[in-house]
Each structure stands twice: as structure tokens, then as C-alpha cells.
Amino acid sequence: MLKLDAGDITHLAVDAIVNAANKSLLGGGGVDGAIHRAAGPELLEACKKLNGCETGQAKVTQGYNLPARFVIHTVGPVWKGGDHGEAELLKSCYQESLKLAVEHDIRSIAFPCISTGVYRYPKQEAASIAVSSCKNFLQSRGVELDITFCCFGDDDLDIYRQLLNS
């Protein structure tokens, strides 16, 4: 099932939250910074052992002080105009995160709007990819998974509301 939520992803009591990280996996600003602050220093220690992550891929850690049991770290593409494989890479972030969720028996997962902050991916296009990738994954795999799109701003909330209602 696809759901919508507004606000801070670190507050969500789901099995896993997804982090929009960078390739180092060693923290940053935006949602990445918020997740590291809320999870506590053990998260950084766990991330140091992962040896980074390629764009479009995903890696998992525990959630430590978060209500969520797991954090799935994925690295979205930096928007460079759209002809640098951005759409495929963004789709891959959602698919690879969901694959890890299934492998870890995760039943509920929340995504932030990957790449749409510092990485400047246009919000409407990113949301279309997020929704279609998740819908396709659930349909093709036949898995029962609650997927929440966690919107931090009203503009994203409006975009996702329209997409989920259409």
C-alpha cells in the first residue's frame, strides 16, 4: 500500500526509513543530517564500515535511537539537466531500497523525496519516478509492504497527493 505523510521522517515509527545520503555514507545536511542526529553516533560508526555506496545503490544499518528499526541508505543522483541518466538512477534508488527491505523482512518503509533537496532534482519528475517505481515493485513482486512517502514541505505533499489520487 502507498501512503503519504508530512513532516520529519525521523519521527516515523515504521520498520525502516530511507536516508537520502551521499556516496561517502558519512553524513551530511538535509534529511541525512537529521537522521544521523536522531539515530545517535552509533549510526556513523556503522556507516563507516560500509565503505560508501554508489549512486543508485542502497545499504542497510540498524536505526539505533530512531523509532525505526533499520535505516536504508541510498544515494540519489545529482540533477545535471536530465540527460545524465538521472531518471534511471533515481528509479534504481527506490528499487534497490525496496529489495533490501524485502530481504530484511521489513513490512513498513518510509522514503524522503530523494535527490530533490541539495541534489536539485525537479520535484514533480522525482515524485513521478518515486510513485511509479514503488507501484511497479509491489505489483511485479506481489509483496505486502506499506510504503510511505514522507513529504517535508507542502509543495511535495500536493504533488504526491495528486499522483496517488490519479
Least distance to ligand AR6, CB of residue 5, Å: 9
CB of residue 103 to ligand AR6, shortest distance in Å: 23
Q: Which residues of this protein are in contact with ligand AR6, per CB under 6 A?
A: 8-10, 20-22, 28-32, 34, 76, 112-119, 150, 152-153, 156
Least distance to ligand AR6 from the beta carbon of 106, Å? 18
What is the longest distance spanned by two Cα atoms in the chain? 42
- Measured from the CB atom, the residue of 56 and 112 that comes closer to ligand AR6 is 112
Nearest distance, CB of residue 147 and ligand AR6, angstroms: 15
**Secondary structure E strands in the chain:** 2-6, 16-21, 58-62, 70-75, 108-111, 146-151
Asked if residues 17 and 10 have their Cβ atoms less than 8 Å apart, the reply is yes
* C-alpha count within 13 angstroms, C-beta hemisphere, residue 34: 14
> What is the amino acid identity at position 118?
V
- Closest to ligand AR6 by CB, 22 or 145: 22
* Helix 123-141 with 154-165: angle, nearest 10 deg: 40
Q: Closer to ligand AR6 at the Cβ: 53 or 150?
A: 150
